[in-house]
Chain A
Amino acid sequence: MWRDHLTEIIVFSLLFLLVSAMGFVAARWRAPKDMAHLDEWGLGGRSFGGWITWFLVGGDLYTAYTFVAVPALMFGAGAAGFFAVPYTIVIYPMVFLVLVRLWSVSHRHGFVTPADFVRKRFDSPVLALLIAITGIVATMPYIALQLVGIEAVLKTMGVTGDNALARHLPIIIAFAILAAYTYQSGLRAPALIAFVKDSLIYIVILVAVIYLPYKLGGWGDIFAAADAKFDASPNPNDGILLNGNNQLQYVTLAFGSALALFLYPHSITGVLASRNRDVIKRNMSALPAYSLLLGLIALLGYMAIAAGVKPLPGAKEGTVDSNTVVPLLFDQQFPDWFAGVAYAAIGIGALVPAAIMSIAAANLFTRNIYKEYLKRDASPAQEANVSKITSLVVKVGAVACIVFLDPQFSIDLQLIGGVIILQTLPAVALGLYTRWFHRTGLIVGWVAGMGLGMWMLYQVASPTRKHFGGSAFPLSEFGFDTPKTIYVGIVAVLVNLAVAALVTLALRAGKVDEGVDGTTPDDYFADEGDPRVTPGAERDADSAREPVA
């Protein structure tokens, strides 16, 4: 019953209202002369320094869903759930090398999205459209999943209803507020709120990892309890260590997820909003602080085992909602007011990434669909306006996914999302280094990677379902005599690359037109204050150059 959780609900609501107010005020924070420009609304004026970028990108990559789902995975499967730690270690050196180049070329040409870059680099509106659609499709379920994070918290507080509308009303209200201040303030809103969100999360987790082991008998006892649980379970692949069969899956999932994460439009939006190359590079040394936090959060799953937490029932009869284990652990172990703070941390933690993701998806639509196909001569003010409206549409879509469809559907889609966003790797990430691939080769490779990835995901069964049961593909399906599994995304992107390379060779032999590269080699290390970019020139650059290209 919700009355037993009144203190928690009050603390949660107060903190939620506080950040909502901040979201609206953010429009005036570091205010530009002219907000009616996509660079301002969608990239915060490309002016964020070290601290803001740290909070913004940190708040963007480590979402509420991560904070809820990773410990839930540890709770259910053990060591395999710890992949989140290597995943968020290996991503930073890659960003350091690759996305810094994207920042430079985008800075000089005024690109807002990765598809803008692909359009110019490979002289192919079709390839850019594919990249944009991939980005939007991959991002939508990710936004919906943020709602799953909030719902886990609301459910634990007993805020439920008899029918679908009553049950979802708090989320609809929360997202309406979020939509309103994102519309008004753009990227400045999540940037400002991220300060509160991350501070709350750091406080909650530091308290949790010091106080809970003390209450539960120490780390030795916590690992012993987890070990005992997995020993008793019939599943051969759980345990507090990996076994011979899931190591390949663990490593490919960590690596593939890292590649996918930095290709997601919302990560790129966060990176492009920084002021210069040094800000990004310094942040690659500072952002792993969040990885440590995530590692400790993951271990909350074991603490929940040691504390004897029983997850709440799921949407369907006979299932459990393992996403509720962390909120339940807090409810059981913390005083009410602190549990309220912890819930607010998770709830606000959902808002920051949801805002950035909707902005990123809106930018993709505006730049690569609206401006490319619907209104070629759109002014910067019109672009900003279309983006603002699209961000509203995207959020309505995300809420509709959760209200009208089974939340499991969003989780499946997000699994697919990671695999499909990886298929933009050859054009976006490798494209930053080489133009060797032919534009048509990249398109054919994308089609091959997408097709194979979908088929593989469809084939994966889990104990509870026949299809889309996870991302661990059994190698025996390829005819290998082994129980080992591998992450679908890695296989799909390797096939994508191979096909792109073969088609490139064939087209080059046939002397098929490759288009003109609109970038020059020194674009890739241009920095703040570059003589070829002045704020005015940057804004007119595209319209001035379009007829030539």
Chain B
Amino acid sequence: MAAPEPEAPTTAPSRAKDHSPWNWLLFIPIVVPLIPAFFNGDSPRIFGFPRYYWLQLAWILLGVATTTLVYQMTKKRGER
């Protein structure tokens, strides 16, 4: 194995592997659950749960849906 060259030039195709615009979607499940105005209220209630509780639990689905979408869209095709 050759010693790595610190100043190795970055090639465009290899950068593309990690820099998909789909990744920006991941900011949605980071930002949305941190806005109390959405969830800090009592009504409407679902199964007796105030909105505060059911909506914050529902953000879990938002997180799962987003990471799943981004994974599917950015996974390398043809290699496996």
Contacts and interface: CB of A to CB of B under 8 A. Distances in A.
Interface in A503-537: 516-522, 524-525, 532, 537
Given A241-B40, A516-B6, A520-B8, 9 more contacts: A90-B33, A93-B66, A101-B18, A219-B47, A223-B50, A240-B52, A241-B42, A537-B1, A545-B4
Dominant SS at the A interface?
A: helix
Given A97-B23, A240-B52, A299-B53, A524 B63 contact: no
Contacts of B29: 89-90, 92-93
B47 to A, nearest CB: 6
Interface string A209-245: 0000000001111110000000000000000111000
Nearest to B59: A89
Interface stretch (A17-25, A249-257, A478-486): A249-257
B26 A219 contact: no
Interface in A284-307: 284-285, 288, 291-292, 295, 299
A545 B47 contact: no
Given A97-B23, A541-B1, A517 B6 contact: yes
Contacts of A518: 4, 6
A247 interface: yes
A282 interface: yes
Given A223-B49, A285-B71, A254 B34 contact: yes
A281 interface: yes
B36 interface: yes
B24 to A, nearest CB: 10
Interface stretch (A79-87, A169-177, A197-205, A392-400): A79-87
A97 B52 contact: no
Interface string A84-118: 01100110111011000100000000000000000
B14 to A, nearest CB: 5
Nearest to B4: A520
A92 B27 CA distance: 11
Given A82-B53, A86-B56, A89-B63, A282 B3 contact: no
B69 to A, nearest CB: 9
A78 B6 CA distance: 53
Interface string B38-80: 0011100101111011001101101110111011000100001
Classify chain B: how many residues form its interface, as a range: 35 or more
Classify chain A: how many residues form its interface, as a range: 35 or more
A89 B33 contact: yes
B3 A548 contact: yes
A255 B14 CA distance: 32
B27 A93 contact: yes
Nearest to B65: A285
Nearest to A278: B75
A544 interface: yes
Contact of A521 (B14, B34, B56, B60): B14
A254 B29 CA distance: 13
Interface in A246-274: 247, 250-251, 254-255
Contacts of B1: 532, 537, 541, 544
19 contacts: A82-B53, A85-B33, A86-B59, A89-B60, A90-B29, A93-B29, A93-B63, A94-B30, A97-B23, A219-B49, A221-B48, A223-B49, A241-B41, A251-B35, A254-B34, A285-B64, A518-B4, A518-B6, A537-B1
A284 B10 contact: no
Nearest to A537: B1
Contacts of B5: 520
B36 A250 contact: yes
A288 B49 contact: no
Contacts of B66: 93
Contacts of B64: 285, 288
Given A86-B34, A89-B29, A250-B36, A521 B15 contact: yes
A247 B41 CA distance: 12
A481 to B, nearest CB: 22
A93 B15 CA distance: 20
Nearest to A532: B1
Nearest to A104: B18
Nearest to B2: A532
Contact of A251 (B23, B27, B34, B57): B34
A93 B17 contact: no
A154 to B, nearest CB: 31
Contacts of B57: 85, 292, 295
Contacts of B45: 220
Contacts of B4: 518-520, 545
A240 B42 CA distance: 9
B3 A545 contact: yes
A315 to B, nearest CB: 33
Nearest to B79: A527
Nearest to A243: B40
B21 to A, nearest CB: 13
Contacts of A89: 29, 33, 59-60, 62-63
